[in-house]
Chain A
Amino acid sequence: MKRYSKIWIMLSLISLQNSFAGRFGAIVFVIGKLIRFGMFFLLLAVLFNSTKALAGFTREQIFVVFLTYTLVDSISQLLFREVYRFRGRVVTGDFDLDLIKPLNSLFRPLLGGIDVLDAITLLPYLIVFVQITRGMQIQPLSVALFILLLLNALFISAGFHIIVLSLGVVTSEIDHAILIYRDIFQMGRFPTSIYTGLVRNVLTFVVPLTIMITVPAKVLFGLYSLQTLLAAFATSLIFLLVSLRLWQYALQKYTSASS
Protein backbone atom coordinates (compact mmCIF):
# COMPACT_ATOMS: atom_id res chain seq x y z
CA MET A 1 0.00 0.00 0.00
CA LYS A 2 2.84 2.37 0.96
CA ARG A 3 4.63 1.60 -2.31
CA TYR A 4 1.48 2.30 -4.33
CA SER A 5 0.93 5.61 -2.49
CA LYS A 6 4.49 6.66 -3.25
CA ILE A 7 4.12 5.83 -6.96
CA TRP A 8 0.72 7.54 -7.09
CA ILE A 9 2.17 10.75 -5.63
CA MET A 10 5.02 10.58 -8.13
CA LEU A 11 2.62 10.12 -11.06
CA SER A 12 0.48 13.00 -9.76
CA LEU A 13 3.53 15.28 -9.67
CA ILE A 14 4.32 14.37 -13.29
CA SER A 15 0.68 15.07 -14.16
CA LEU A 16 1.00 18.47 -12.44
CA GLN A 17 4.05 19.33 -14.55
CA ASN A 18 2.27 18.21 -17.73
CA SER A 19 -0.82 20.26 -16.90
CA PHE A 20 1.16 23.45 -16.54
CA ALA A 21 3.44 22.81 -19.51
CA GLY A 22 0.74 24.52 -21.59
CA ARG A 23 -0.24 27.32 -19.20
CA PHE A 24 -2.69 28.97 -21.59
CA GLY A 25 -4.62 25.73 -22.01
CA ALA A 26 -4.62 25.09 -18.26
CA ILE A 27 -6.00 28.54 -17.46
CA VAL A 28 -8.71 28.29 -20.14
CA PHE A 29 -9.66 24.83 -18.86
CA VAL A 30 -10.16 26.09 -15.30
CA ILE A 31 -12.03 29.20 -16.47
CA GLY A 32 -14.26 27.05 -18.70
CA LYS A 33 -15.15 24.71 -15.86
CA LEU A 34 -15.99 27.60 -13.55
CA ILE A 35 -18.07 29.31 -16.26
CA ARG A 36 -20.06 26.10 -16.75
CA PHE A 37 -20.62 25.82 -13.02
CA GLY A 38 -21.78 29.44 -12.72
CA MET A 39 -23.97 29.26 -15.82
CA PHE A 40 -25.77 26.22 -14.56
CA PHE A 41 -26.75 28.11 -11.44
CA LEU A 42 -28.04 30.90 -13.65
CA LEU A 43 -30.08 28.38 -15.64
CA LEU A 44 -31.52 26.87 -12.47
CA ALA A 45 -32.48 30.36 -11.30
CA VAL A 46 -34.19 31.00 -14.67
CA LEU A 47 -36.00 27.66 -14.44
CA PHE A 48 -37.31 28.44 -10.98
CA ASN A 49 -38.74 31.71 -12.25
CA SER A 50 -41.17 29.50 -14.15
CA THR A 51 -41.93 26.90 -11.50
CA LYS A 52 -41.85 26.63 -7.71
CA ALA A 53 -40.83 22.96 -7.59
CA LEU A 54 -39.32 20.42 -9.96
CA ALA A 55 -40.49 16.81 -9.52
CA GLY A 56 -41.28 17.65 -5.89
CA PHE A 57 -37.88 19.26 -5.18
CA THR A 58 -37.58 22.89 -4.07
CA ARG A 59 -35.04 25.27 -5.56
CA GLU A 60 -32.53 24.76 -2.71
CA GLN A 61 -32.91 21.00 -2.95
CA ILE A 62 -32.26 21.09 -6.71
CA PHE A 63 -29.12 23.17 -6.01
CA VAL A 64 -27.94 20.45 -3.59
CA VAL A 65 -28.63 17.71 -6.18
CA PHE A 66 -26.61 19.68 -8.75
CA LEU A 67 -23.77 20.26 -6.28
CA THR A 68 -23.71 16.55 -5.36
CA TYR A 69 -23.49 15.77 -9.06
CA THR A 70 -20.65 18.29 -9.43
CA LEU A 71 -18.70 16.82 -6.51
CA VAL A 72 -19.00 13.20 -7.70
CA ASP A 73 -18.18 14.20 -11.28
CA SER A 74 -15.18 16.36 -10.33
CA ILE A 75 -13.63 13.88 -7.91
CA SER A 76 -14.10 11.06 -10.44
CA GLN A 77 -12.37 13.08 -13.15
CA LEU A 78 -9.67 14.14 -10.73
CA LEU A 79 -8.91 10.51 -9.81
CA PHE A 80 -9.58 8.65 -13.06
CA ARG A 81 -8.33 11.11 -15.70
CA GLU A 82 -5.79 8.60 -17.01
CA VAL A 83 -8.67 6.50 -18.37
CA TYR A 84 -9.21 9.17 -21.06
CA ARG A 85 -5.67 8.56 -22.37
CA PHE A 86 -5.78 4.78 -22.20
CA ARG A 87 -6.92 4.01 -25.74
CA GLY A 88 -3.76 5.61 -27.12
CA ARG A 89 -1.63 3.35 -24.92
CA VAL A 90 -3.43 0.25 -26.22
CA VAL A 91 -3.21 1.31 -29.87
CA THR A 92 0.51 2.13 -29.69
CA GLY A 93 1.32 -0.89 -27.56
CA ASP A 94 2.58 1.26 -24.67
CA PHE A 95 0.27 -0.64 -22.36
CA ASP A 96 2.86 -3.45 -22.48
CA LEU A 97 5.12 -1.22 -20.39
CA ASP A 98 2.46 -1.14 -17.65
CA LEU A 99 1.97 -4.88 -17.75
CA ILE A 100 5.63 -5.76 -17.25
CA LYS A 101 5.93 -3.56 -14.15
CA PRO A 102 5.58 -5.24 -10.72
CA LEU A 103 2.31 -3.41 -10.14
CA ASN A 104 -1.37 -4.29 -10.41
CA SER A 105 -2.29 -4.11 -14.12
CA LEU A 106 -5.15 -1.72 -13.33
CA PHE A 107 -3.16 0.72 -11.23
CA ARG A 108 -1.60 2.88 -13.94
CA PRO A 109 -4.54 2.90 -16.42
CA LEU A 110 -7.06 3.77 -13.70
CA LEU A 111 -5.14 5.85 -11.16
CA GLY A 112 -2.18 7.11 -13.15
CA GLY A 113 -1.99 10.46 -11.34
CA ILE A 114 -4.59 13.03 -10.37
CA ASP A 115 -5.80 15.76 -12.69
CA VAL A 116 -4.55 18.87 -10.95
CA LEU A 117 -6.84 21.20 -12.91
CA ASP A 118 -9.89 19.39 -11.57
CA ALA A 119 -8.39 19.62 -8.09
CA ILE A 120 -8.22 23.41 -8.49
CA THR A 121 -11.89 23.68 -9.45
CA LEU A 122 -12.95 21.41 -6.58
CA LEU A 123 -12.24 24.10 -4.00
CA PRO A 124 -14.83 26.64 -5.26
CA TYR A 125 -17.38 23.83 -5.63
CA LEU A 126 -16.86 22.88 -1.98
CA ILE A 127 -17.17 26.49 -0.83
CA VAL A 128 -20.50 26.91 -2.68
CA PHE A 129 -21.69 23.56 -1.35
CA VAL A 130 -20.99 24.59 2.26
CA GLN A 131 -22.60 28.01 1.69
CA ILE A 132 -25.82 26.54 0.27
CA THR A 133 -26.21 23.71 2.79
CA ARG A 134 -25.39 26.01 5.73
CA GLY A 135 -28.89 27.48 5.63
CA MET A 136 -30.49 24.02 5.80
CA GLN A 137 -31.08 22.16 9.03
CA ILE A 138 -28.98 19.04 8.46
CA GLN A 139 -28.45 16.39 11.14
CA PRO A 140 -24.84 15.20 11.84
CA LEU A 141 -25.92 11.62 11.01
CA SER A 142 -27.12 12.82 7.59
CA VAL A 143 -23.72 14.46 6.96
CA ALA A 144 -21.91 11.22 7.90
CA LEU A 145 -24.21 9.18 5.65
CA PHE A 146 -23.78 11.70 2.83
CA ILE A 147 -19.98 11.33 2.98
CA LEU A 148 -20.31 7.54 3.02
CA LEU A 149 -22.67 7.62 0.02
CA LEU A 150 -20.32 9.98 -1.80
CA LEU A 151 -17.52 7.43 -1.35
CA ASN A 152 -19.95 4.75 -2.46
CA ALA A 153 -20.69 6.76 -5.63
CA LEU A 154 -16.95 7.00 -6.31
CA PHE A 155 -16.68 3.21 -6.10
CA ILE A 156 -19.48 2.87 -8.68
CA SER A 157 -17.72 5.47 -10.81
CA ALA A 158 -14.47 3.47 -10.51
CA GLY A 159 -16.43 0.41 -11.68
CA PHE A 160 -17.62 2.29 -14.76
CA HIS A 161 -14.15 3.52 -15.57
CA ILE A 162 -12.81 -0.06 -15.28
CA ILE A 163 -15.53 -1.24 -17.69
CA VAL A 164 -14.48 1.48 -20.15
CA LEU A 165 -10.83 0.42 -19.80
CA SER A 166 -11.85 -3.17 -20.50
CA LEU A 167 -13.73 -2.06 -23.62
CA GLY A 168 -10.61 -0.16 -24.68
CA VAL A 169 -8.53 -3.33 -24.46
CA VAL A 170 -11.05 -5.57 -26.25
CA THR A 171 -12.20 -3.13 -28.98
CA SER A 172 -9.69 -0.35 -29.50
CA GLU A 173 -12.27 1.43 -31.69
CA ILE A 174 -14.24 2.84 -28.72
CA ASP A 175 -13.42 6.55 -28.55
CA HIS A 176 -16.77 7.69 -27.30
CA ALA A 177 -17.49 5.10 -24.56
CA ILE A 178 -16.21 7.29 -21.73
CA LEU A 179 -17.93 10.33 -23.22
CA ILE A 180 -21.24 8.44 -23.43
CA TYR A 181 -20.85 7.58 -19.76
CA ARG A 182 -20.23 11.26 -19.05
CA ASP A 183 -23.25 12.35 -21.09
CA ILE A 184 -25.49 9.89 -19.27
CA PHE A 185 -23.92 11.04 -16.02
CA GLN A 186 -24.90 14.63 -16.87
CA MET A 187 -28.52 13.54 -16.63
CA GLY A 188 -27.82 13.35 -12.88
CA ARG A 189 -27.64 17.15 -12.69
CA PHE A 190 -31.36 16.88 -11.97
CA PRO A 191 -33.13 14.39 -9.66
CA THR A 192 -33.69 11.14 -11.55
CA SER A 193 -37.39 11.30 -10.66
CA ILE A 194 -37.91 13.78 -13.53
CA TYR A 195 -37.26 10.96 -16.01
CA THR A 196 -39.86 8.37 -16.93
CA GLY A 197 -40.14 4.93 -18.54
CA LEU A 198 -37.09 3.26 -20.03
CA VAL A 199 -34.77 6.20 -19.32
CA ARG A 200 -35.65 6.11 -15.62
CA ASN A 201 -34.99 2.36 -15.51
CA VAL A 202 -31.62 2.84 -17.20
CA LEU A 203 -30.70 5.53 -14.68
CA THR A 204 -31.73 3.29 -11.80
CA PHE A 205 -30.38 -0.09 -12.85
CA VAL A 206 -27.78 0.36 -15.63
CA VAL A 207 -26.05 3.64 -14.77
CA PRO A 208 -27.35 4.00 -11.22
CA LEU A 209 -27.42 7.80 -11.03
CA THR A 210 -30.22 7.53 -8.52
CA ILE A 211 -27.83 5.84 -6.10
CA MET A 212 -24.82 7.94 -7.05
CA ILE A 213 -26.43 11.39 -6.87
CA THR A 214 -30.11 11.59 -5.95
CA VAL A 215 -29.89 9.29 -2.89
CA PRO A 216 -26.89 11.09 -1.27
CA ALA A 217 -28.61 14.45 -1.84
CA LYS A 218 -31.88 13.16 -0.35
CA VAL A 219 -29.99 11.90 2.69
CA LEU A 220 -29.04 15.51 3.41
CA PHE A 221 -32.74 16.43 3.40
CA GLY A 222 -33.37 13.60 5.88
CA LEU A 223 -35.20 11.54 3.23
CA TYR A 224 -33.83 7.99 3.38
CA SER A 225 -34.59 4.46 4.51
CA LEU A 226 -32.40 1.59 5.63
CA GLN A 227 -33.38 -0.42 2.52
CA THR A 228 -32.23 2.39 0.20
CA LEU A 229 -28.88 2.64 1.98
CA LEU A 230 -28.32 -1.12 1.86
CA ALA A 231 -29.28 -1.19 -1.83
CA ALA A 232 -26.81 1.64 -2.50
CA PHE A 233 -23.88 -0.17 -0.87
CA ALA A 234 -24.82 -3.52 -2.46
CA THR A 235 -24.93 -1.87 -5.91
CA SER A 236 -21.42 -0.46 -5.63
CA LEU A 237 -20.09 -3.83 -4.47
CA ILE A 238 -21.72 -5.64 -7.40
CA PHE A 239 -20.49 -2.99 -9.83
CA LEU A 240 -16.91 -3.27 -8.65
CA LEU A 241 -16.92 -7.07 -8.73
CA VAL A 242 -18.44 -7.20 -12.23
CA SER A 243 -16.02 -4.57 -13.55
CA LEU A 244 -12.98 -6.36 -12.10
CA ARG A 245 -14.16 -9.59 -13.70
CA LEU A 246 -14.53 -7.79 -17.04
CA TRP A 247 -11.00 -6.39 -16.68
CA GLN A 248 -9.61 -9.90 -16.15
CA TYR A 249 -11.49 -11.05 -19.25
CA ALA A 250 -10.18 -8.08 -21.27
CA LEU A 251 -6.58 -8.77 -20.24
CA GLN A 252 -6.88 -12.30 -21.58
CA LYS A 253 -7.94 -10.81 -24.94
CA TYR A 254 -5.07 -8.28 -25.08
CA THR A 255 -2.86 -9.05 -28.06
CA SER A 256 -0.25 -6.29 -27.77
CA ALA A 257 -0.83 -5.72 -31.48
CA SER A 258 1.19 -2.55 -32.14
CA SER A 259 4.24 -3.22 -29.97
Chain B
Amino acid sequence: MNKILIIAQNTAQETAAYRLNFVLWRARSVIRYLLSYFLWTAILSGVAGAVGGYSRAQMLTYLTFGYIVMTFVLATRTQDLGGEINEGKLSNALLRPQSFFQYLIGREIGDKVVNLVFSVAEVGLLLFILHPPVLFQSNPEVLLLTLLAVIGSTIMYFLLSLLMSLIAFWTNDIWAVRFLFFMCLEFMSGSLIPIDLFPGIWRSIVLSTPFPYVMFFPAKIYLGGMSVSDLRQGFMVLSIWIIGLSLLAYVAWRRGLKSYGADGR
Protein backbone atom coordinates (compact mmCIF):
# COMPACT_ATOMS: atom_id res chain seq x y z
CA MET B 1 0.00 0.00 0.00
CA ASN B 2 2.87 2.30 0.90
CA LYS B 3 4.41 1.73 -2.54
CA ILE B 4 1.15 2.66 -4.28
CA LEU B 5 0.96 5.89 -2.29
CA ILE B 6 4.54 6.79 -3.17
CA ILE B 7 3.81 6.20 -6.87
CA ALA B 8 0.63 8.31 -6.56
CA GLN B 9 2.65 11.09 -4.93
CA ASN B 10 5.28 10.93 -7.69
CA THR B 11 2.56 11.14 -10.34
CA ALA B 12 1.09 14.23 -8.68
CA GLN B 13 4.56 15.80 -8.54
CA GLU B 14 5.09 14.94 -12.20
CA THR B 15 1.93 16.92 -13.01
CA ALA B 16 3.30 19.86 -11.05
CA ALA B 17 6.51 19.72 -13.10
CA TYR B 18 4.54 20.49 -16.28
CA ARG B 19 2.26 23.11 -14.72
CA LEU B 20 1.41 25.10 -17.84
CA ASN B 21 0.33 22.00 -19.73
CA PHE B 22 -1.84 20.91 -16.83
CA VAL B 23 -3.44 24.35 -16.43
CA LEU B 24 -4.22 24.43 -20.15
CA TRP B 25 -5.67 20.92 -19.96
CA ARG B 26 -7.96 22.05 -17.13
CA ALA B 27 -8.88 25.18 -19.12
CA ARG B 28 -10.04 22.93 -21.96
CA SER B 29 -12.37 21.07 -19.59
CA VAL B 30 -13.84 24.34 -18.32
CA ILE B 31 -14.51 25.49 -21.90
CA ARG B 32 -16.43 22.27 -22.61
CA TYR B 33 -18.48 22.77 -19.43
CA LEU B 34 -19.27 26.37 -20.42
CA LEU B 35 -20.55 25.22 -23.82
CA SER B 36 -23.15 22.92 -22.19
CA TYR B 37 -23.95 25.46 -19.47
CA PHE B 38 -24.74 28.30 -21.88
CA LEU B 39 -26.53 26.03 -24.32
CA TRP B 40 -28.97 24.87 -21.65
CA THR B 41 -29.32 28.32 -20.12
CA ALA B 42 -30.40 29.58 -23.57
CA ILE B 43 -32.81 26.67 -24.11
CA LEU B 44 -34.39 26.94 -20.66
CA SER B 45 -34.77 30.70 -20.90
CA GLY B 46 -36.95 30.22 -23.99
CA VAL B 47 -39.18 27.59 -22.39
CA ALA B 48 -41.76 27.99 -19.66
CA GLY B 49 -41.29 25.25 -17.01
CA ALA B 50 -39.12 22.15 -17.38
CA VAL B 51 -37.54 20.49 -20.43
CA GLY B 52 -37.95 16.70 -20.51
CA GLY B 53 -38.55 16.71 -16.75
CA TYR B 54 -35.51 18.86 -15.98
CA SER B 55 -36.08 22.25 -14.33
CA ARG B 56 -33.39 24.92 -14.73
CA ALA B 57 -31.92 24.07 -11.32
CA GLN B 58 -31.94 20.32 -12.03
CA MET B 59 -30.31 20.71 -15.44
CA LEU B 60 -27.55 22.99 -14.17
CA THR B 61 -26.97 20.67 -11.19
CA TYR B 62 -26.79 17.71 -13.59
CA LEU B 63 -24.18 19.51 -15.74
CA THR B 64 -22.14 20.81 -12.80
CA PHE B 65 -22.04 17.57 -10.83
CA GLY B 66 -21.54 15.63 -14.05
CA TYR B 67 -18.52 17.81 -14.83
CA ILE B 68 -16.81 16.81 -11.56
CA VAL B 69 -17.68 13.13 -12.05
CA MET B 70 -16.44 13.11 -15.64
CA THR B 71 -13.18 14.80 -14.66
CA PHE B 72 -12.59 12.19 -11.97
CA VAL B 73 -13.57 9.18 -14.08
CA LEU B 74 -11.65 10.24 -17.20
CA ALA B 75 -8.44 11.17 -15.34
CA THR B 76 -6.14 8.29 -16.23
CA ARG B 77 -2.55 7.52 -17.10
CA THR B 78 -3.39 4.26 -18.85
CA GLN B 79 -3.34 6.08 -22.20
CA ASP B 80 0.46 6.44 -21.84
CA LEU B 81 0.81 2.66 -21.76
CA GLY B 82 0.20 2.30 -25.52
CA GLY B 83 3.18 4.50 -26.36
CA GLU B 84 5.31 2.71 -23.75
CA ILE B 85 4.54 -0.66 -25.39
CA ASN B 86 5.27 0.67 -28.89
CA GLU B 87 8.58 2.22 -27.81
CA GLY B 88 9.65 -0.76 -25.72
CA LYS B 89 9.57 1.29 -22.51
CA LEU B 90 7.23 -1.24 -20.93
CA SER B 91 10.34 -3.36 -20.25
CA ASN B 92 11.46 -0.86 -17.58
CA ALA B 93 8.20 -1.26 -15.69
CA LEU B 94 8.25 -5.06 -16.05
CA LEU B 95 11.77 -5.33 -14.65
CA ARG B 96 10.85 -3.52 -11.43
CA PRO B 97 10.48 -5.69 -8.28
CA GLN B 98 6.84 -4.68 -8.06
CA SER B 99 3.56 -5.67 -9.66
CA PHE B 100 2.92 -3.75 -12.88
CA PHE B 101 -0.73 -3.27 -11.96
CA GLN B 102 0.24 -1.91 -8.57
CA TYR B 103 2.31 0.67 -10.47
CA LEU B 104 -0.64 1.46 -12.78
CA ILE B 105 -3.05 1.87 -9.87
CA GLY B 106 -0.63 4.18 -8.07
CA ARG B 107 -0.44 6.41 -11.16
CA GLU B 108 -4.23 6.39 -11.50
CA ILE B 109 -4.72 7.51 -7.89
CA GLY B 110 -2.18 10.34 -8.26
CA ASP B 111 -3.73 11.59 -11.47
CA LYS B 112 -7.30 11.35 -10.21
CA VAL B 113 -6.60 13.16 -6.94
CA VAL B 114 -4.93 16.10 -8.74
CA ASN B 115 -7.74 16.35 -11.30
CA LEU B 116 -10.45 16.04 -8.64
CA VAL B 117 -8.96 18.82 -6.52
CA PHE B 118 -8.74 21.12 -9.55
CA SER B 119 -12.24 20.32 -10.84
CA VAL B 120 -13.80 21.03 -7.43
CA ALA B 121 -11.89 24.34 -7.27
CA GLU B 122 -13.01 25.19 -10.84
CA VAL B 123 -16.63 24.43 -10.04
CA GLY B 124 -16.38 26.60 -6.91
CA LEU B 125 -15.09 29.46 -9.03
CA LEU B 126 -17.74 28.94 -11.71
CA LEU B 127 -20.51 28.85 -9.08
CA PHE B 128 -19.16 32.10 -7.68
CA ILE B 129 -19.07 33.79 -11.11
CA LEU B 130 -22.17 32.34 -12.78
CA HIS B 131 -24.46 31.86 -9.75
CA PRO B 132 -26.31 28.88 -11.24
CA PRO B 133 -29.19 27.56 -9.08
CA VAL B 134 -27.45 24.33 -8.07
CA LEU B 135 -29.18 21.75 -5.85
CA PHE B 136 -27.25 19.95 -3.12
CA GLN B 137 -28.23 16.36 -2.45
CA SER B 138 -28.56 15.48 1.24
CA ASN B 139 -30.26 12.06 1.10
CA PRO B 140 -27.60 9.58 2.39
CA GLU B 141 -29.03 6.67 0.35
CA VAL B 142 -28.84 8.67 -2.87
CA LEU B 143 -25.32 9.84 -2.02
CA LEU B 144 -24.24 6.25 -1.34
CA LEU B 145 -25.70 5.05 -4.66
CA THR B 146 -23.98 7.96 -6.44
CA LEU B 147 -20.68 7.00 -4.86
CA LEU B 148 -21.17 3.37 -5.93
CA ALA B 149 -21.94 4.50 -9.50
CA VAL B 150 -18.82 6.71 -9.59
CA ILE B 151 -16.63 3.85 -8.30
CA GLY B 152 -18.16 1.50 -10.89
CA SER B 153 -17.64 4.03 -13.70
CA THR B 154 -14.05 4.61 -12.64
CA ILE B 155 -13.25 0.89 -12.72
CA MET B 156 -15.05 0.48 -16.06
CA TYR B 157 -13.23 3.40 -17.70
CA PHE B 158 -9.87 2.23 -16.31
CA LEU B 159 -10.41 -1.17 -17.94
CA LEU B 160 -11.61 0.36 -21.21
CA SER B 161 -8.68 2.75 -21.44
CA LEU B 162 -6.29 -0.07 -20.51
CA LEU B 163 -7.71 -2.25 -23.29
CA MET B 164 -7.36 0.57 -25.82
CA SER B 165 -3.68 0.83 -24.86
CA LEU B 166 -3.08 -2.92 -24.93
CA ILE B 167 -3.89 -2.84 -28.66
CA ALA B 168 -0.32 -1.51 -28.94
CA PHE B 169 0.94 -5.10 -28.49
CA TRP B 170 -0.31 -5.82 -32.01
CA THR B 171 -0.35 -2.49 -33.90
CA ASN B 172 1.22 0.96 -33.94
CA ASP B 173 -2.11 2.61 -34.84
CA ILE B 174 -3.12 2.97 -31.19
CA TRP B 175 -4.59 6.47 -31.46
CA ALA B 176 -7.28 5.45 -33.97
CA VAL B 177 -9.49 3.43 -31.60
CA ARG B 178 -9.10 6.01 -28.84
CA PHE B 179 -10.06 8.77 -31.29
CA LEU B 180 -13.22 6.89 -32.25
CA PHE B 181 -13.99 6.24 -28.59
CA PHE B 182 -13.79 9.93 -27.69
CA MET B 183 -15.94 10.87 -30.69
CA CYS B 184 -18.68 8.63 -29.32
CA LEU B 185 -18.08 9.69 -25.72
CA GLU B 186 -18.65 13.35 -26.62
CA PHE B 187 -22.25 12.63 -27.56
CA MET B 188 -23.17 9.52 -25.62
CA SER B 189 -21.81 10.42 -22.17
CA GLY B 190 -24.67 12.88 -21.63
CA SER B 191 -22.35 15.86 -21.22
CA LEU B 192 -24.26 17.89 -23.83
CA ILE B 193 -27.75 16.41 -23.49
CA PRO B 194 -29.01 14.02 -20.78
CA ILE B 195 -29.52 10.60 -22.33
CA ASP B 196 -33.12 10.33 -21.10
CA LEU B 197 -34.05 13.13 -23.52
CA PHE B 198 -33.10 10.89 -26.45
CA PRO B 199 -35.98 9.26 -28.34
CA GLY B 200 -36.93 5.69 -27.17
CA ILE B 201 -34.86 3.41 -29.39
CA TRP B 202 -31.79 5.67 -29.34
CA ARG B 203 -31.99 5.91 -25.55
CA SER B 204 -32.05 2.12 -25.18
CA ILE B 205 -29.10 1.69 -27.55
CA VAL B 206 -26.98 4.35 -25.83
CA LEU B 207 -27.80 3.05 -22.34
CA SER B 208 -26.47 -0.38 -23.27
CA THR B 209 -23.05 1.08 -24.21
CA PRO B 210 -20.40 2.07 -21.62
CA PHE B 211 -20.53 5.79 -22.51
CA PRO B 212 -23.45 7.05 -20.38
CA TYR B 213 -21.94 5.47 -17.26
CA VAL B 214 -19.04 7.92 -17.44
CA MET B 215 -21.33 10.85 -16.62
CA PHE B 216 -25.07 10.49 -17.18
CA PHE B 217 -25.73 7.60 -14.80
CA PRO B 218 -23.93 8.94 -11.68
CA ALA B 219 -25.17 12.52 -12.29
CA LYS B 220 -28.76 11.32 -12.79
CA ILE B 221 -28.63 9.30 -9.56
CA TYR B 222 -27.29 12.35 -7.72
CA LEU B 223 -30.33 14.38 -8.83
CA GLY B 224 -32.56 11.83 -7.07
CA GLY B 225 -35.93 10.49 -8.15
CA MET B 226 -34.56 7.65 -10.29
CA SER B 227 -36.87 4.62 -10.25
CA VAL B 228 -35.72 1.36 -8.64
CA SER B 229 -36.01 -0.51 -11.93
CA ASP B 230 -33.86 2.13 -13.75
CA LEU B 231 -31.28 1.94 -10.94
CA ARG B 232 -31.25 -1.85 -11.02
CA GLN B 233 -30.90 -1.90 -14.79
CA GLY B 234 -28.15 0.75 -14.76
CA PHE B 235 -26.05 -1.05 -12.14
CA MET B 236 -26.60 -4.35 -13.92
CA VAL B 237 -25.33 -3.01 -17.28
CA LEU B 238 -22.38 -1.34 -15.52
CA SER B 239 -21.50 -4.62 -13.75
CA ILE B 240 -21.71 -6.58 -17.00
CA TRP B 241 -19.34 -4.13 -18.65
CA ILE B 242 -16.89 -4.33 -15.74
CA ILE B 243 -16.87 -8.14 -15.75
CA GLY B 244 -16.62 -8.37 -19.55
CA LEU B 245 -13.85 -5.76 -19.79
CA SER B 246 -11.91 -7.38 -16.90
CA LEU B 247 -11.89 -10.71 -18.72
CA LEU B 248 -10.92 -9.08 -22.00
CA ALA B 249 -8.15 -7.02 -20.37
CA TYR B 250 -6.80 -10.14 -18.61
CA VAL B 251 -6.70 -12.13 -21.86
CA ALA B 252 -5.23 -9.19 -23.84
CA TRP B 253 -2.49 -8.63 -21.24
CA ARG B 254 -1.50 -12.32 -21.10
CA ARG B 255 -1.46 -12.74 -24.87
CA GLY B 256 0.08 -9.33 -25.44
CA LEU B 257 3.03 -10.07 -23.16
CA LYS B 258 3.71 -13.23 -25.18
CA SER B 259 3.92 -11.22 -28.41
CA TYR B 260 5.81 -8.28 -26.82
CA GLY B 261 9.22 -7.90 -28.45
CA ALA B 262 10.42 -4.73 -26.64
CA ASP B 263 10.84 -3.10 -30.06
CA GLY B 264 12.70 0.16 -29.83
CA ARG B 265 14.93 -0.98 -26.97
Of the A-B pairs whose beta carbons lie under 8 Å apart in the complex, a sample of 29, sorted by A's number, is: A24-B171, A24-B173, A28-B173, A28-B176, A28-B177, A28-B180, A32-B183, A35-B180, A39-B186, A39-B187, A40-B187, A46-B193, A49-B199, A50-B43, A50-B52, A52-B46, A53-B46, A54-B42, A55-B46, A171-B20, A177-B24, A179-B24, A184-B31, A187-B34, A190-B35, A190-B39, A194-B39, A194-B42, A198-B129
| Interface contact B173-A36, CB-CB below 8 Å | no
Contacts A29-B176, A49-B197, A190-B39: A36 and B183 contacting too (C-beta < 8 A)? yes
B198 contacts partner chain A, Cβ-Cβ < 8 Å: yes
B184 contacts partner chain A, Cβ-Cβ < 8 Å: yes
Closest residue of chain A to B30 (Cβ to Cβ) is A183
| Interface contact B35-A187, CB-CB below 8 Å | yes
Q: How far is it, in angstroms, between the C-alpha of A48 and the C-alpha of B60 when the chains are bound? A: 19
Partner of B27, one of A25, A46, A180, A186: A180
Interface size class, chain B: 35 or more
For B24, the chain A residues whose CB sits under 8 A away are 174-177, 179-180
B3 contacts partner chain A, Cβ-Cβ < 8 Å: no
Q: How far is it, in angstroms, between the C-alpha of A228 and the C-alpha of B28 when the chains are bound? A: 30
Chain A 148-184: CB-based contact to B (< 8 A → 1; otherwise 0): 0000000000000000000000010111110110011
A22 contacts partner chain B, Cβ-Cβ < 8 Å: yes
For A31, the chain B residues whose CB sits under 8 A away are 180
Q: In the complex, what's the smallest C-beta–C-beta distance from B216 to chain A, in angstroms?
A: 13
For B128, the chain A residues whose CB sits under 8 A away are none
Interface size class, chain A: 35 or more
Which B residues from 63 to 119 make CB contacts under 8 A with A? Answer: none
B137 contacts partner chain A, Cβ-Cβ < 8 Å: no
Q: In the complex, what's the smallest C-beta–C-beta distance from A64 to chain B, in angstroms?
A: 17
Q: In the complex, what's the smallest C-beta–C-beta distance from A12 to chain B, in angstroms?
A: 22
Q: How far is it, in angstroms, between the C-alpha of A54 and the C-alpha of B47 when the chains are bound? A: 10
Contacts A29-B176, A173-B20: A50 and B197 contacting too (C-beta < 8 A)? yes
| Interface contact A199-B187, CB-CB below 8 Å | no
| Interface contact B187-A179, CB-CB below 8 Å | no
Chain A 184-206: CB-based contact to B (< 8 A → 1; otherwise 0): 10110110001110110000000
A51 contacts partner chain B, Cβ-Cβ < 8 Å: yes
Contacts A22-B172, A25-B176, A173-B20: A54 and B43 contacting too (C-beta < 8 A)? yes
Partner of B31, one of A29, A180, A196: A180
Contacts A46-B197, A50-B47, A54-B46: A194 and B38 contacting too (C-beta < 8 A)? yes
Residue with the highest number of chain A CB atoms closer than 10 Å, among B25, B31, B41 = B31
B residues bordering A, Cβ < 8 Å?
18, 20-21, 24-25, 27-28, 31-32, 34-35, 38-39, 41-43, 46-47, 51-52, 129, 171-173, 175-177, 179-180, 183-184, 186-188, 192-193, 197-199, 202
For A132, the chain B residues whose CB sits under 8 A away are none
Q: Which 8 A-B pairs have the closest CB atoms?
A: A176-B24, A194-B42, A28-B176, A25-B173, A25-B176, A39-B187, A50-B51, A32-B183
Q: How far is it, in angstroms, between the C-alpha of A29 and the C-alpha of B175 when the chains are bound? A: 9
Q: How far is it, in angstroms, between the C-alpha of A130 and the C-alpha of B35 when the chains are bound? A: 27
Q: How far is it, in angstroms, between the C-alpha of A39 and the C-alpha of B186 when the chains are bound? A: 9
For A174, the chain B residues whose CB sits under 8 A away are 20-21, 24
Partner of B193, one of A43, A189, A196: A43
| Interface contact B28-A179, CB-CB below 8 Å | yes
For A184, the chain B residues whose CB sits under 8 A away are 31
Closest residue of chain B to A186 (Cβ to Cβ) is B35
Q: In the complex, what's the smallest C-beta–C-beta distance from B47 to chain A, in angstroms?
A: 5
For B183, the chain A residues whose CB sits under 8 A away are 32-33, 35-36, 39
For B25, the chain A residues whose CB sits under 8 A away are 176
For B18, the chain A residues whose CB sits under 8 A away are 173
Chain A 17-44: CB-based contact to B (< 8 A → 1; otherwise 0): 0000010110011011101100110110
For B42, the chain A residues whose CB sits under 8 A away are 54-55, 190, 194
Q: How far is it, in angstroms, between the C-alpha of A176 and the C-alpha of B21 when the chains are bound? A: 7
For A22, the chain B residues whose CB sits under 8 A away are 172-173, 176
